[in-house]
Each structure stands twice: as structure tokens, then as C-alpha cells.
Structure 1
């Protein structure tokens, strides 16, 4: 069972998300909140596997919550769902520690698949969000390219494809600890702390196409 918390300040949509989660046999709804601060406290207390966050909320918004979770070392994965899917919004959400981004017009099946996907370590993006993020990253692209080793480039390409540590280790015939060492080195060079932000930073720098 994947334990899920829902945080959205629109009561009707929050209930719809709760019903979507509750209706899936592989998912368990463990809590719901209507604003950022309450949601942050709830996630810290319940330690769910996945948190579904609205981007724009009262008190503190979704990216603020995701950033606070990342800073405090909470391992909950974050799926953003928002009515606002412009490039800067998607970029900010993922840079704050998000593992996925869907539009609020996503259907129940798409949302359930996205929850399972982010739980597996995938970076899940709605097609329109992906296109707008790509455009935003091109706009923000930095001229300097950090020097990556061949192994670090291999790690980067595989995390961009949503591969897990175990899958990367098996494909490259490396130990899990070795893969994690290369990933830490990659994150340090890109000045990030997790895979979604690494993919975003690499695209900005032209390291991924």
C-alpha cells in the first residue's frame, strides 16, 4: 500500500482527490489538509509515502512545503497538481523538490498512475507541463557546463529516464553503493539534492536534450 496525504485549499477538489486515492486498492489515504502550514505539519507527523500538493495555497504554497520537507530530511515524495501549469510554475515546483507535476484536468487513472510512478522514483510530468518546462529551461539555460565524468553523465541520462538505483546498478554492472556515490557527485556538481532538480538543472545547462 502507498500511503498518501492530500493538501489542497479548494474543498471540492480536495475531496475529489481524496476519493481518487481511496478508490484505488494500491493506495491508502492517511490524511488531508486545506492549507500549506497544516499540510506540512500533517506530512511531518504521518510520514506518508507520497504527498499530493496544490501549488498555490494560503499560508505557504506547495513549493514552500516541498522545500521545507526536503530541508528537514523527510522522505515523502511530492506530486504537484495545479490549475497553473506555465513554465515558471512547473520549474519552481520541481526545483523545490517535486517528483511530478499534473494539471488539475487530469483524470483519476492518470493521477493514480502518477502516484505510483513517483513512488517508484520516476519524474512524472503531464505532457503540457513537460513542454512548458522544456521551453522555460531553454529560456533560463546557463552558458557554463559543469564537467561531468562519463559515469556521471550515464547516471544523469538514466535518472532522466526514471531509472531507480537498482535498475542503474544492474544495467551498468555496478554496486548500489557505487551508483549512489556517482549520484552524490553529480548532485554536488549541479548544486542540487535530488533527482528531479538534477534533471531540471542539467536541462538548463544543456547536458540533456
Structure 2
């Protein structure tokens, strides 16, 4: 079964190139494309694609505003930013707004398709070259309640650092997806962060609070 992709980008030539790339991949289908935020939001809500690729710097409505509008409207699609901006603050703002990934437009075509597929399956996708920028943006972390982290939450923190999706974590730990979601919700609250990616960055910086996978 193929995964459907919607493109929202105000650069016609780039959008056309990505559309051709998606159409040429046997595992992907092009749900549609829009040249501005409002049109993209309307298409996302009507077409219900599996994933939406959103440009960050658009004139009428920027990508963060589009992302927030989609989340507020209850859009179930995975949302990944595809942009030229490698500013750590932009990465952080996108993740805090609920983005499921942040990719740069100079990514190799095969890597873009691979990351789209990973995002559809539940992984948070971000280029390795941006990880350091995100860490820098998080250098002044808020007060966290690490003392109350449970053993299970510390296990899940370690698996988030490994880049696992909820389904993968559930499979590794032998628990339900819904249980993983509850644990992650508690984990985010205790670490005082807004996204699983921020939690993963925090866990990477603080390995002493992670636990290795419990023996099966």
C-alpha cells in the first residue's frame, strides 16, 4: 500500500521537482500540491494525506502558521518541514509547534523519499547536520523533575534517543501503543519539554537518566 503526500510550497519549480520525485517512487503517491498556506490547509483537510511536506518561508502564511493551523484543525497527517533554513531556532520552533520532522531542501532525492517513508511510519525525521543546532537552541533548559522519572520512563527515554516510533517502542517493551503514549506524555511533563524530539535531545545530553532496554 502506498503512502500519500501533499506538498505545500510557494516555489513552483521546486514544488514540481518534489512532485515528480514522489510520483516516481513506487511506495508513494502524490495527493496534491498547493502554492500557499491557506490552499494547503484546505487540501490537507479534504484529501487527508498520510504526510504533508511544508515549506517554512512562505509569503502569505509561513510554514509554522500552517503547521499550527493543521494541528488545531485535528489534521491526522504527519507534518514535515522542508526548507532552506538551517537556523536552530527555526528547527526548535517547528518541533514545538508539532512538526514530525525537519529536512533541508538540498537533501539528496533518495534521502528525501526515505525520510518521507520513515515519517509516515511514525519516526521523527531530522537531518544529522541539524542535531547540533537543536542542542544549541536548548542550551538553557527549564527546570526538570528528573527525580520522579520511573524506570519505564527512563527506558522509553533511551528508546526515544534511538529514534524509535511509538509502535517500535511498544514492540520492544512488550506494551500497548496507548501505554507508550501515556508514558511519553508523563515524560514530557517531567522534563518540561513540548515534543518527543526535545525529550530525545535532553536524553542524549543526559545519558545518566536513560536505561538500557530491560531484558525480555
Structure 2 vs 1, CA of residues 180 and 198 (structure 1 numbering), >3 Å: closer, same or farther? closer
Q: Does 2:78 align with 1:82?
A: no
CA distance in 2, matches of 1:101, 1:16: 19
Aligned residue in 1 for 2:197: 199
| SS of residue paired to 2:18 | helix
TM score, norm. by length of structure 2: 0.85
**Residue 145 of structure 1 pairs with residue 144 of structure 2:** yes
Length-normalised TM-score, structure 1: 0.87
Aligned mates of 2:53, 2:129 — CA distance in 1: 19
Change (3 A) 1:160 1:26: same
Q: How far off its partner does 1:90 sit?
A: 1.1
SS at match of 1:105: coil
SS in 1 for 2:138: helix
In structure 1, the residue matched to 2:116 is 115
Residue 176 (structure 2) aligns with: 175
The answer to whether residue 94 in structure 2 is matched with residue 96 in structure 1 is no
Structure 2 unaligned blocks of 5 or more: 206-216
Give the deviation of 1:201 after TM superposition.
4.9
CA RMSD of superposed structures (Å):
1.9
Aligned to 2:51: 50
CA distance in 1, matches of 2:7, 2:42: 12
Q: CA deviation at 1:131?
A: 2.1
Q: Which residue number in structure 2 is paired with residue 72 of structure 1?
A: 73
Runs of at least 4 residues off by over 6 Å: none
Task: Give the C-alpha shift of residue 153 in structure 1.
Answer: 2.2
Aligned residue pairs, count: 202
